Amino acid sequence: MERNTWIVIISALILVFILGSIFWNPLLERIDAQFYPRFHPGIWDQPVIRPPENSTAGFTDYPFMFQYNFTASTGFASAYKKYYRPTFVISKGRNATIVLDISSATNHPVTVTLAAIDDLPAGGISFNRPDSMVIEPGKTRQMNLELSASPEAGLPEIPENGEEEAHQYPVGVWLRSENWSVGQGFYLKVAG
């Protein structure tokens, strides 16, 4: 009798493993398609690098990298980093410019374009798409991302806990070159 019990338990575990492997991978793919590469607070505090599809390149073989330049960015009520998180505060009815320092990491010129801006609030914040630029090997160039806040631009609703993250928009910037994408997030606040 005890032997039959063990056979049933082992058979059940094998069945669970087989069914889990069949259904778990498609579930993960759906989750990835739904959420990646959207900006998530805490995840994009450092750059996210996406190599070309089916590439054998490593994550350190990217052709360029960028960072936010706080001293060159203009028109903001304030700009600062908190816990490695870039934060820009734009006033209602004002224009401001985020300056991106883009550095070449290859031995040939690379053309860099703005691929996307994720989660820029639709309610009163807009941007002008900058032109593509060529960066020579070992050089750094600046790309200007010009933002405009309408007089009606607003903040998200403030939850009862009053945490700072509730008063800002998490935004993600994606740049592209040679089928590589590099993304990094920042927080945008709207001041009255």
Q: What is the mean pLDDT of residues 128-154?
A: 92
Element (H, E) at 183: strand 180-191
Who's near 146: CB < 8 A, 6+ residues apart? Answer: 95, 96, 97, 127, 128, 130
Q: Which residues pair with 182 in a beta bridge?
A: 49, 175
Cα separation of 12 and 63, whole Å? 50
Question: What is the separation of C-alpha 129 from the centre of its chain, rounded to a whole number of angstroms?
Answer: 17
* pLDDT for the residue 30: 43
* pLDDT for the residue 182: 92
Phi, psi of 21 (to 5 degrees): -70, -30
Average pLDDT in the chain: 79
Pick the CATH number of 48-191 from 3.90.226.10, 3.40.50.300, 3.20.20.140, 2.60.40.10: 2.60.40.10
Q: Which residues pair with 48 in a beta bridge?
A: 183
Q: How confident is the model at residue 71 (pLDDT cuts 50, 70, 90)?
A: very high
pLDDT per residue over 18-59, tens digit each?
A: 666 555 544 444 444 443 445 555 566 678 888 888 877 766
The residue extents of the domains of the chain are 1-36, 48-191
Cα separation of 164 and 175, whole Å? 28
Q: How far apart are the first and last CA of the chain?
A: 76
Who's near 43: CB < 8 A, 6+ residues apart? Answer: 185
pLDDT per residue over 81-130, tens digit each?
A: 877 778 899 988 999 999 999 999 999 999 999 998 887 776 788 889 99
